[in-house]
């Protein structure tokens, strides 16, 4: 099941934005958000496929889904604490 735009708390379109990059944008949104929020980040950066899961594992937030789209990927992360 793929979460649609309306089902996430917030979407960040970081496509083509090399700095500070999709992972930092995600961390900022997690810091700012409430427990239970789902944050979607759109990234055209190939590195996000390893960066985002690595941080989520260390910070203990849940990767809800990763969807490959045209020229970018959509990562949905839930703030668990």
Partner 1 sequence: MPARVVILGGGVGGTLAANLLRKELGGEANVTVVDSTGMHIYQPGFLYVALDQANALWLARDERTLLRKGVELVVEQATRIDPSRQTVELAHGGTLPYDYLVLATGSRLDRGAVAGYGDTHDFYSFEGALRLREELRRFKGGRILVGVAGIPYKCPPAPVEFVLMLEEYLRKRGIREKSSVTLLSPLGRAFTIESASKLVQPIFDRQGVGLSTFFNVESVDTAKHTVSSLEGETAEYDLLVLVPPHRGAAVIEASGLGDAGGWVPTDRDTLQHKSFERILAIGDATDLPISKSGSTAHFEAPVVASRIASFVRGTAPKTAYGGRVMCFLATGGGRATSLRFDYTHPPVPPKPSRLWHWAKWIFNRAYWVTIPQGRVG
Residues forming the site for partner 1 (CB under 8 A): 12-25, 27-28, 31-33, 45, 47, 51, 54-55, 58-60
Nearer to partner 1, 14 or 76 (CB): 14
Give the C-alpha distances (Å, rounded to integers) separating 47 from 1, 22, 43, 50, 52: 25, 10, 9, 6, 8
| Residue pair 32/74 in contact by the 8 Å Cβ criterion | no
The DSSP symbol for 33 reads S
Smallest distance from the beta carbon of 69 to partner 1, in angstroms? Answer: 16
Nearer CB in complex with partner 1: 16/36: 16
- Known catalytic residues are 19
């Amino acid at each position: 099941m793929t979460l649609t735009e309306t089902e996430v708390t917030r979407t960040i379109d970081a496509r083509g934005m090399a700095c500070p990059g999709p992972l930092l944008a995600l961390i900022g949104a997690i810091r700012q958000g409430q427990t239970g929020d789902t944050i979607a980040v759109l990234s055209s950066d190939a590195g996000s496929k390893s960066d985002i899961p690595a941080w989520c594992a260390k910070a203990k937030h849940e990767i809800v889904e990763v969807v490959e789209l045209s020229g970018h990927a959509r990562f949905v992360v839930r703030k668990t604490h």
